[in-house]
A and B are shown apart, each in its own frame.
Chain A
Amino acid sequence: MTAINPHKAARLRRNVLLYVAAALLLLIWVVPILWAVIVSLKSESEVLAYPPQLIFQPTMANYRDAVSGGFSILPSFFTSFILSTATTILTVLLAVPAAYAFARLSLPGKRALGFYTLVTQMIPPVGLVIPYFLILNKIGWLDTYQGLVTVFLTFSLPFAIWLMVSYMEDIPKEMEEAAFLDKASRLQTLWHVILPQVRGGIAVTVIFVFLNAWNEFLFSVQLSGNHVRPVTVAMYNFVSVEQTLWAKLAAAALIAMLPMIVIGIAAQKQIVKGLTVGAVKGGGRR
């Protein structure tokens, strides 16, 4: 019997501990999702059964109810998709140049303006519902796509600007200066030099902005109606004053999560790159 190398044993112990810790962390995320999946496959009476039944005849009826018939969330699903996509595209189009300006240009009142964009994030959203309702009503934008997208922009834009500023500031100024020496304009520099460097940051911004717009409820419930009804509001049809239809709600929630999972997977590489960009360069973000 050969003796175990003490270094190898220590490494093995460390790895085991790391994997256990990682598994535990993963469990925190996975268990609620798994629970929702199980609930969505049960009948309403099985959901309420105690002790919880782990062996049961799975049914797809809840998914069918969530997408068809009087309780269908499908139209709202597509409404949310349009709202979130429009909000994300507009946010990125506006936030990237704004963030560049904040990070690179010396503008009069830049600090004050930067602070002001942050202030808007500090107002409790519930305090804004009434003014938004009155303004949108005045201009005839209640229960419209443009109304909700505009409201979503008010909180997504400051957030995206500040997120992008941190990525922009990480890019060495020398890269831009080299471009200027080659007679590139500022716009060309932004397009050809800066944007490729902050692709990861844009991916992270897209995810967060889309996620926030997709999950928004407070403004949606007050400012939308029969014409533009986001999925978060439609899902509430399963929570009535009489009862909560847990199985159908779980099925609807899982369907509503799909776009986020798809986008997360699609942008996985870019997100990792975006999140680790500072570490790779050996310097933290300022």
Chain B
Amino acid sequence: MNEHDNGRNTRGAGIHRRTLLKTTAAGIAALAMPAVLTRPVRAAADVPDMSSVKDAKIDWKQAKGSSITIGVTPAGYFDNLGALLPQFQELTGINVRLEKTPPGEIRQKAVLDLSSKTGTWASHAADPMYYPLYARNNWIDPLDTYLGDSKLTDPEWFAFDDIVKSWTGATSVDGKPYGIPYDGETTLQIYRTDVYEKLGLKPADTLEEYVSNAAKVNDPSNRLWGCALRGFKGAGQNMYIYPSLFEEFGGKWFNAENQIIVNGKEALDALEWYIDLLTKYAPKGVENWNWPDIADAFSQGTVGSYIDANTSAAVVANPEKSKVVGKIGFARWPKGPSGRRVASIWNWSFPINGALSKEDKAATWLFIQWAASKEVQAATSYDFPGAYKRLGVNRTSVLNSDAFKKLANGIGDTFIDATTASLEKDTHVDWRPRVPQWAAIGEIMATAIQASLVGQAKPKEALDKAQEKIAGIMKG
């Protein structure tokens, strides 16, 4: 009897199973081994110099011994912040834990935590559209008192006014700041310079030109599509793009009686433009694409242009994944028929949970102040020793620094100019109506837009239905 026969005969007796179980256990142990052996240890030389943080005229140790948890999403820009936490803990004696929660769930969990006053998250990466809801319910503290408290803040060192105005505006309610932006974005036109040069095209100045460029680039037989925009359904997905189009077509969210109107002529024109562009010149399945899908397609060279967050440049210019490095151009959002450009802006910011004790509030403010400081912004961006250098820095001084320009110009030499112009000239904080009911309104509109895009509903009917539902929500 040879070994093979032996193996066959014993299979039924269960030895085969046992062998497999043992092998699997050994496999798990082998996998566990590298976890112990290869756990990265940050060398002292890798740590960016942030000694100037100590120059702030505040007592960093005033909340020593506190322990706080900050809710964040899994993202490179928060990982970079997490890597610097040991320095914050050494500086302040405050123990900070970042709790990663998937992007789809972080908003729900934050609302649950804040509304039930559990104080689980001292602060969290908050969506600016949620501030009106948080503030109206007094779930979070207004930050003007913290900014004005000399025991807690050194105004000269912190330089609140240096933080990008449109982002602090978006996290303010009735003129009071409620959250401090940590990472932000504005929306740009991102295109393939090699393709545009070959076809003799310039980045579009108007939406009309954007369609015409997309038509010229579109060549599906060679796996190159003209454009892509977010098609995925959601308040921050297709409703990240559509509101800008709506305003560029001349739409206004509120009428003279202060009622929200989403089914006027401008709304319909914007929706029809969006549907026409995507059905003709975008890859199939774009109705389910969110921005990571668009960035992946662009980085694989299958999309000629897209309009989305400027920070996606960090992904499409990543040499480990992208085939279009060195061939990326940036331009401002094209003008609409109204003659206006309306860029979508957004940021992750940190509020202070109103349910915390006084000591924990102080600890949380020290953390927020540190995270939003010039030093940490630089240390998590161009000074970060790891491969991922974040681009969504929150401060004008950092955006305009030579070091940041050097980093950004490596991605595309028009990045800084387009970003700066977009933030300063092309947007306003209410490009989406900042009302407490926004989450529900956004979802209703998102459903109407996607239903129209996939042909399940006629655009006019979809918008009328959305109007009816939104009117009900605003009344209720």
Contact = CB atoms under 8 A, between A and B. Distances in A.
Interface of A: 43-45, 48-50, 63-64, 67-70, 72, 74, 129-130, 133-134, 137, 142-143, 221-222, 225-226, 233, 236-244, 255, 258, 261-262, 265-266, 268-269
Contact of B74 (A74, A225, A237, A258): A237
Contacts of B108: 129, 222
Nearest to B119: A137
Contact of B105 (A48, A130, A222, A244): A222
30 contacts: A43-B320, A44-B321, A48-B321, A49-B300, A63-B31, A67-B31, A67-B32, A67-B34, A69-B38, A70-B40, A70-B82, A74-B35, A130-B112, A133-B112, A137-B118, A221-B102, A222-B109, A225-B69, A233-B102, A237-B74, A237-B100, A239-B102, A239-B103, A240-B103, A240-B292, A242-B75, A242-B312, A243-B321, A265-B17, A266-B17
B401 to A, nearest CB: 23
A225 B292 contact: no
B240 to A, nearest CB: 12
Contacts of A133: 112, 116, 118
Given A44-B320, A68-B34, A70-B82, 14 more contacts: A67-B31, A67-B32, A67-B34, A68-B39, A69-B39, A69-B40, A72-B35, A74-B35, A129-B112, A221-B105, A233-B101, A237-B74, A242-B312, A258-B28
A142 B118 contact: yes
A272 to B, nearest CB: 13
B112 to A, nearest CB: 5
A67 B35 contact: yes
Interface of B: 14, 17, 20-21, 24-25, 27-28, 31-32, 34-40, 69, 73-76, 79, 82, 97, 99-103, 105, 108-109, 112, 116, 118, 120, 223, 292, 295-296, 299-300, 302, 311-312, 314-315, 320-323
Nearest to A221: B105
A45 B299 CA distance: 9
Contacts of A266: 17, 21
Contacts of B31: 63, 67, 74, 255
Nearest to A66: B31
A244 B292 contact: yes
Contacts of B112: 129-130, 133, 222
A254 to B, nearest CB: 11
Contacts of B320: 43-45
Contacts of A44: 320-321
Contact of B35 (A68, A244, A262): A68
A268 B11 CA distance: 13
Contacts of B100: 236-237
Nearest to B299: A48
Contacts of A43: 320
Contacts of B82: 70
B24 A45 contact: no
Contacts of A242: 75-76, 292, 295, 311-312, 314-315
